[in-house]
């Protein structure tokens, strides 16, 4: 069996860093595509030249066209503009809509069997657009947001408690916006419920910081948005798919009645394996949690309506 193939569309901060993680983990050969002349080629060559030092075997090719993406197993879509301080993810909708429509068509023509991992914001809306335009089954168009949001929550808990990030399990539902729904009730440190380790006020503070986690980085960077953690999250999904790991991870998928929601792409726990999002895991939620989910879904629905498709 030859190597697997991962294409990354958009060779900016998130895309190039995703290519880096993918190659270094030897998940497969990597094709990096961008409209900017020389950028994907230069970054791909530079990354390949790191392989003798780091000792990974993966071909890395950069291109301004899509032929190099042919027969990809996974395509990570990061093309589009990121936000700047003062902007919401929704402010990116008009510009990124056009980019995603053209990219998805080109990708699917060359790789009809690929699984798409969407990263471009506004995430839930762009995942919905990609699902509708690609014609792929819903299991194969998956948005990355929940893993990132959950990682931020875990990182803040680890900092607060001074414990290893490895021991923290957490879960966040909902859209990738400030109305996401962190679930402290489903959060543990080595099996110990978070509520036994931290007072409610502290948990509320960490939840609030998580909700605004993307904005915190944007305000620090000033010229762009987060990319290390987002690209690592997209690669965790890629690895779960290529290795058929059947991991349960929060991802944005098209819902048809789960959680009482229909015709929306929304963050829920899914089983990730070789077929993509193989199953949606439904949780028992309290009335309060259900209300928060409904509120988050309402803002995603509003954004989807703005696509006018």
Residue from the set 6, 7, 8, 15 that interacts with ligand NAD by CB under 6 A: 15
Q: What is the size of the binding site for ligand NAD (CB under 6 A)?
A: 35
Q: What are the phi and psi torsion angles at 243 (to 5°)?
A: -100, 5
Count of Cβ atoms closer than 10 Å to residue 211 Cβ: 20
| H or E element at residue 197 | none
C-alpha to C-alpha distance for 293 and 282, rounded to whole angstroms: 13
SS3 160: helix
Distances 29 to 23, 26, 70, 245, 288 between C-alpha atoms, Å: 7, 8, 12, 19, 46
Residue numbers annotated as active site: 176
SS3 247: strand
Binder to ligand NAD among 176, 211, 247, 271 (CB under 6 A)?
176
Residues 89, 58: contact at Cβ < 8 Å? no
Least distance from ligand NAD to the Cβ atom of residue 225, Å: 5
Binding positions for ligand NAD, 46-85, rule CB under 6 A: 78-83
Query: Is 42 near ligand NAD (CB under 6 A)?
Result: no
CA atoms within 13 A on the CB side of 242: 25
User: What sign results for the dihedral spanned by CA atoms 207, 209, 215, 217?
Assistant: negative
The region of 55-63, 150-158, 225-233, 268-276 touching ligand NAD under the rule CB under 6 A is: 225-233
Closest distance to ligand NAD from the beta carbon of 39 (Å): 6
5 in helix, strand or coil? strand
Residue 13 contacts ligand NAD per CB under 6 A: yes
Nearer to ligand NAD, 82 or 174 (CB): 82
Q: How crowded is residue 268: how many other Cβ atoms within 10 Å of its Cβ? A: 23
Based on the number of CB atoms within 10 Å of its own CB, is 101 exposed (0-12), middle (13-18) or buried (19 or more)? Answer: middle
Q: Which range touches ligand NAD (CB under 6 A), out of 10-18, 266-274, 279-287, 289-297?
A: 10-18
CB of 118 to ligand NAD, least distance (A): 7
Question: What string marks each residue from 109 to 148 as x (binds ligand NAD by CB under 6 A) or -?
Answer: ----------xxx-x--------------------xx--x
Residue 190 CA to its chain's centroid (Å)? 25
Exactly one of 3, 25, 26, 35 binds ligand NAD (CB under 6 A); that residue is: 35
Q: Which is nearer to ligand NAD, 9 or 194 (CB)?
A: 9
Query: By the 8 A CB rule, do 209 and 217 touch?
Result: no
Closest residue to ligand NAD: CB criterion: 12
Among 8-16, 131-139, 187-195, 276-284, the segment contacting ligand NAD (CB under 6 A) = 8-16
| Tokens matching residue 301 | 């629905």
Among 28, 175, 177, 230, binds ligand NAD (CB under 6 A): 230
The answer to whether 92 contacts ligand NAD (rule: CB under 6 A) is yes
Binding-site member from 21, 128, 156, 227 for ligand NAD (CB under 6 A)? 227
- For ligand NAD, which is the closer residue by CB, 176 or 247? 176
Which residues of the shown chain bind ligand NAD in the complex (CB under 6 A)? 9-15, 33-36, 78-83, 92, 96, 99, 102-103, 119-121, 123, 144-145, 148, 176, 224-227, 230
């Amino acid at each position: 069996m030859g190597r697997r193939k991962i294409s990354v569309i958009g060779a900016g901060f998130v895309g190039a860093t995703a290519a880096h993680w993918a190659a270094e983990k030897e998940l497969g050969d990597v094709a990096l595509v961008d409209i900017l002349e020389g950028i994907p080629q230069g970054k791909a060559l530079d990354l390949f030249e790191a392989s003798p030092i780091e000792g990974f075997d993966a071909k890395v090719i950069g291109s301004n066209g899509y032929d190099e993406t042919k027969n990809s197993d996974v395509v990570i879509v990061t093309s589009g503009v990121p936000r700047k301080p003062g902007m919401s993810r929704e402010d990116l909708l008009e510009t990124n809509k056009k980019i995603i429509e053209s990219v998805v068509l080109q990708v699917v023509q060359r790789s009809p069997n690929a699984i798409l991992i969407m990263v471009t914001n506004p995430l839930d809306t762009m995942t919905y657009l990609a699902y509708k335009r690609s014609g792929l089954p819903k299991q194969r168009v998956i948005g990355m947001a929940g893993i990132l949001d959950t990682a931020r929550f875990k990182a803040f808990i680890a900092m607060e408690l001074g414990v290893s990030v490895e021991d923290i399990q957490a879960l966040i539902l909902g859209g990738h916006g400030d109305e996401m729904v962190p679930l402290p009730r489903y959060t543990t440190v080595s099996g110990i419920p978070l509520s036994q380790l931290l007072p409610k006020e502290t948990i509320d503070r960490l939840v609030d910081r998580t909700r605004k986690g993307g904005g915190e980085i944007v305000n620090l960077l000033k010229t762009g948005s987060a990319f290390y953690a987002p690209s690592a999250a997209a690669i965790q999904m890629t690895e779960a798919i290529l290795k058929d790991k059947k991991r349960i991870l929060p991802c944005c998928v098209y819902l048809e009645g789960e959680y009482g929601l229909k015709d929306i792409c929304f963050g829920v726990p899914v089983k990730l394996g070789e077929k993509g999002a193989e199953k949606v895991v439904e949780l028992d939620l309290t009335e309060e949690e259900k209300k928060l989910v409904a509120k988050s879904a309402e803002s995603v629905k509003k954004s989807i309506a703005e696509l006018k498709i």
